[in-house]
């Protein structure tokens, strides 16, 4: 049992996380670059691909199926009445599978009615259709549904990473998503499952003070950042955090199980060392005397301290505790380091600056 977990879930602000606005200018997307292609497919064809698992229908974030039976019934009625449907937006991933960006409710309705045959129509004003399941309809009406053409706009897997996320954000008609939720959808696999599982660990919840918004996947974003700076070299960071975190998930999806197990052990070692040293103040700016009021969790401080202390055993950290704390509080008082974890934190210079200063501290303390 982790000690001192006496905090209630909060939805705190996050310091030092950076935004796309403070990243280096990457240029506009060329107008003639083909980022989205148009495809027309029948409901029958799309459902066949869903059954073959070529469409990802259950992305692991807050997009649960929420339409009522009445809403689903109205959609089926619209198809039978030949009313044109809104377009569907689909993101193609690198292995050719399609992630539903916008239209999940509608495709889930078609699957429930046609493939699974669970949905019973609720259309009291349509006596021919009311209380009917797909199998109860005449062959003529069944064909009309299955032959209905759907217009799919497919976001190409080769589109620039920032462009893919921007398109995703623009076209999604549901609840506004965070970039981590988008990444979790676009890169579903063992990497995203790793983030989910580690975010549920008691040690992680304790170390971050139970203060990251789970619904928005802020907890998974922090673990994604740890994995990025642990797996990829610092030279691979080019001023675009979105791209860096996406590259991390791609790499994680290709790792062997033992490599992921090693990564989990490293994360937990870093968490345990930080929590032992700083308790409820871990990954937050604070003075040596420990402020009575805890400051916001700092994503940039998380980057350097979670990865930095993942390399050392608990015994070694305990032996060097005084020297480590002295050096750490000295860093927090250094205006250069403070700027590197506070201002324009996604800029390459800031990232390399804070890692360079933190690594110099660890080398001085641990002699490696």
Residues 152 and 243 in one domain: no
Residues 197 and 340 in one domain: yes
The answer to whether residue 8 is domain-embedded is no
**Segment-wise mean pLDDT, segments of 10 residues, the chain, 368 residues:** 43 75 58 75 96 80 70 97 93 84 90 95 94 96 97 87 78 72 87 96 96 92 98 94 94 97 98 96 87 84 98 97 96 96 95 97 93
Q: For position 100, what pLDDT does the model report?
A: 86
Residues 197 and 329 in one domain: yes
User: 258, exposed or middle or buried, with CB in 10 Å at 0-12, 13-18, 19+?
Assistant: exposed
Q: For position 175, what pLDDT does the model report?
A: 58
Residues 207 and 351 in one domain: yes
Q: How many CB atoms lie within 10 A of CB 202?
A: 10
pTM: 0.81
Token pair for 47:
């459902």
The sign one gets for the Cα dihedral 31, 243, 172, 51 is positive
Residues 242 and 319 in one domain: yes
Residues 187 and 75 in one domain: no
Q: Provide the Cα torsion 145, 149, 151, 155; round to 10°.
A: 90
Q: Give dist(CA 170, CA 16) in Å, integer.
A: 25
Query: Which domain does 317 fall in, by range?
Result: 14-26+180-366
Residues 231 and 111 in one domain: no
Residues 287 and 308 in one domain: yes
The answer to whether residue 206 is domain-embedded is yes
Q: For position 18, what pLDDT does the model report?
A: 76
Residues 79 and 106 in one domain: yes
In degrees and rounded to multiples of 5, residue 339 shows phi and psi of -65, -40
Q: For position 62, what pLDDT does the model report?
A: 43
The answer to whether residue 31 is domain-embedded is no
Domain count, the chain: 2
Q: For position 59, what pLDDT does the model report?
A: 58
- Quick check: 168 and 90 in contact, CB under 8 A? no
Q: SS in 3 state form for 235-266?
A: HHCCCCHHHHHHHHHHHHHCCCHHHHHHHHHH
Q: For position 260, what pLDDT does the model report?
A: 98
């Amino acid at each position: 049992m982790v000690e001192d977990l006496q905090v209630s879930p909060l939805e705190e602000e996050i310091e030092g996380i950076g935004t796309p606005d403070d990243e280096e200018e990457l240029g506009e997307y060329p107008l003639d670059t083909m980022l989205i292609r148009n495809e027309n497919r029948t409901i029958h064809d799309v459902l066949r691909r869903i059954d073959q698992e070529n469409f990802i229908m259950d992305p692991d974030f807050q997009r649960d199926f929420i339409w009522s039976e009445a809403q689903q019934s109205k959609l089926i009625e619209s198809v039978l009445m030949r009313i044109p449907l809104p377009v569907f937006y689909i993101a193609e991933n690198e292995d050719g599978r399609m992630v539903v960006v916008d239209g999940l409710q509608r495709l889930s309705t078609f699957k429930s009615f046609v493939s699974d045959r669970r949905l019973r129509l609720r259309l009291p004003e349509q006596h021919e259709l009311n209380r009917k399941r797909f199998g109860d309809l005449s062959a003529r009406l069944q064909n009309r549904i299955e032959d209905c053409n759907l217009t799919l706009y497919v976001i190409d897997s080769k589109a620039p990473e920032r462009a893919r996320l921007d398109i995703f954000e623009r076209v999604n008609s549901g609840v506004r998503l965070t970039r981590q939720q988008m990444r979790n959808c676009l890169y579903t696999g063992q990497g995203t499952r790793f983030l989910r599982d580690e975010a549920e660990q008691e040690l992680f919840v304790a170390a971050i003070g139970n203060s990251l918004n789970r619904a928005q996947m802020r907890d998974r974003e922090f673990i994604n950042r740890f994995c990025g700076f642990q797996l990829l070299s610092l030279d691979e960071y080019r001023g675009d955090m979105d791209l860096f975190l996406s590259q991390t998930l791609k790499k994680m999806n290709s790792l062997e199980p033992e490599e992921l197990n090693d990564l989990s052990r490293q994360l937990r070692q870093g968490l345990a060392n930080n929590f032992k040293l700083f308790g409820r103040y871990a990954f937050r700016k604070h003075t040596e005397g420990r402020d009575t009021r805890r400051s916001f969790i700092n994503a940039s401080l998380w980057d350097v301290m979670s990865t930095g202390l993942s390399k050392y055993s608990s015994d070694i950290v305990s032996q060097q505790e005084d020297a480590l704390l002295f050096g750490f509080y000295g860093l927090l008082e250094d205006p250069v380091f403070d700027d590197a974890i506070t201002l324009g934190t996604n800029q390459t210079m800031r990232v390399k600056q804070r890692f360079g200063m933190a690594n110099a501290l660890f080398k001085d303390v641990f002699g490696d």
